[in-house]
């Protein structure tokens, strides 16, 4: 995958400052190692959806969330999505945590950026596929964003059989393992969005250190 310096640096706390060459060299080394290590997998399923304000019935889970309600407004179906870079990436980060912490933090940031890019790519394929049939996708929205409860993770992981299909498991505290994994829902509606708000802009945590 093409190196995304900008996003990697953002995860490292850079806002618009330029990184020096040593850090840039580390970033590119990390992406190269990731390219050799990742085994990206993703899986999704479609379910019927009803949204009434902040009451959401996504067939496999029912929840109340105003942020998700806004995101899914006007949608008739929901895509439940999971993706992961695989356990190898965690092992790689862990290795450098023991051997070279500076590289571990860069690897961690690069892997986060890598995962987002991978998800975007899969998401784009989905968008094209659905638009061909006259359906429009909303931006993907993950449990834990805004007031979308992390508890919905359990139902999502179970419904997708994410353990065997993507390799995602949940810890008792609902963290995903391997860590470089994403679960999300994507609303499907008959109308395109006038202005797509996604990523940081869609998130309510305005004091986040990593906000774009």
**At CA 167, angle to CA 46 and CA 116, rounded to 5?**
70
- Alpha-carbon separation of residue 48 from 11, 12, 22, 161 (angstroms): 35, 39, 50, 18
Q: How many CB atoms lie within 10 A of CB 196?
A: 12
Q: Residue 48 or residue 74: which is nearer to another protein going by CB?
A: 48
Euclidean distance between CA atoms 177 and 23, whole angstroms = 28
Q: Residue 17 or residue 191: which is nearer to another protein going by CB?
A: 17
Site string for another protein, 151-180 (x = CB under 8 A): ----x--xx---xxx-x-xxxxxxx-xxx-
* Cis peptide bond N-terminal to 178, omega within 30: yes
- By the rule CB under 8 A, 147 interacts with another protein: no
Sites for another protein among residues 38-57 (CB under 8 A)? 39, 41, 44-48
For another protein, which stretch binds (CB under 8 A), given 5-13, 117-125, 183-191, 193-201?
5-13
Among 99, 132, 194, 195, binds another protein (CB under 8 A): 99
For another protein, which stretch binds (CB under 8 A), given 67-75, 88-96, 132-140, 188-196?
88-96
DSSP designation for 19: P
């Amino acid at each position: 995958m093409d190196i995304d310096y900008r996003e990697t640096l953002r995860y490292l706390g850079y806002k618009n400052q330029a990184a020096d060459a040593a850090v840039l060299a580390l970033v590119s080394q990390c992406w190269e190692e990731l390219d050799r290590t990742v085994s990206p997998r993703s899986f999704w399923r479609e379910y019927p959806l009803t949204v009434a304000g902040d009451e959401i019935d996504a067939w496999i889970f029912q929840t109340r969330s105003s942020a998700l309600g806004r995101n899914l407004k006007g949608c008739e179906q929901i895509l439940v999505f999971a993706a992961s870079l695989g356990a190898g990436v965690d092992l790689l980060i862990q290795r450098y945590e023991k051997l070279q912490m500076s590289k571990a933090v860069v690897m961690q940031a690069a892997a986060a950026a890598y995962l987002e890019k991978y998800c975007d790519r899969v998401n784009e394929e989905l968008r094209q596929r659905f638009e061909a049939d006259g359906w429009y996708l909303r931006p993907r929205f993950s449990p834990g964003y805004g007031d979308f409860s992390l508890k919905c993770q359990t139902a999502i992981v179970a419904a997708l059989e994410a353990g065997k299909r993507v390799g995602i498991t949940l810890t008792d505290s609902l963290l995903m393992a391997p860590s470089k994994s994403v679960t999300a829902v994507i609303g499907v509606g008959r109308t395109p969005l006038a202005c797509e708000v996604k990523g940081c802009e869609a998130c309510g945590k305005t004091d986040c250190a990593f906000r774009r």
